[in-house]
Amino acid sequence: MRQYPYDLYVVTNGEGGVDENGFPIPSEPIEAFHCKCRERAAGSGNIVATESGEIINYASKVLMPLGTPKIEANSKIIIKIGEKIILSGNVIRFSDAPQLHCRLWV
């Protein structure tokens, strides 16, 4: 079993624009690979404090290698194994405290 079997992508909106007739072109979501990860479904103690101090329930905890660049709160992420989507949601909180790994809550 690999420690980080899944791929984590951060989803951003690409630039829209206007076509030759002046009609708006909607922006397309862009999935950018961020790192390898491991997802763990929330257990019975599924409460985390947000950066603003609000207490919220989370659905999953995602573990990533130490040194992974920070993902801002409210960023949309997708976790995949191959082309299969394992998890999709918004980041509640990211922690890179000097432990054995980085964590984020979705």
Span 14-28, pLDDT tens digits: 777 777 887 888 888
**What are the start-end ranges of the E strands in 1-106?**
6-13, 17-18, 24-25, 29-41, 47-49, 55-57, 60-65, 76-81, 84-90, 93-95, 101-105
Residue 56 located in a structural domain? yes
Calculate what percentage of the chain has a pLDDT beyond 70. Answer: 99
**What confidence score (pLDDT) does residue 15 get?**
77
Per the prediction, the chain carries an average pLDDT of 88
Q: Identify whether 20 is part of a domain.
A: no
76 located within any domain:
yes
The model carries a pTM of 0.83
Within a domain: 21: no
Per DSSP, the three-state class of 15 is coil
Structural domain including 64 reads 6-14+26-105
Ramachandran quadrant class, 67 (left: phi over 0; alpha: psi -120 to 50; beta: rest): left
The answer to whether position 19 is within a domain reads: no
CB atoms within 10 A of CB 1: 4
- Total number of domains constituting the chain: 1
CA separation for the pair 32, 11 (Å, rounded)? 6
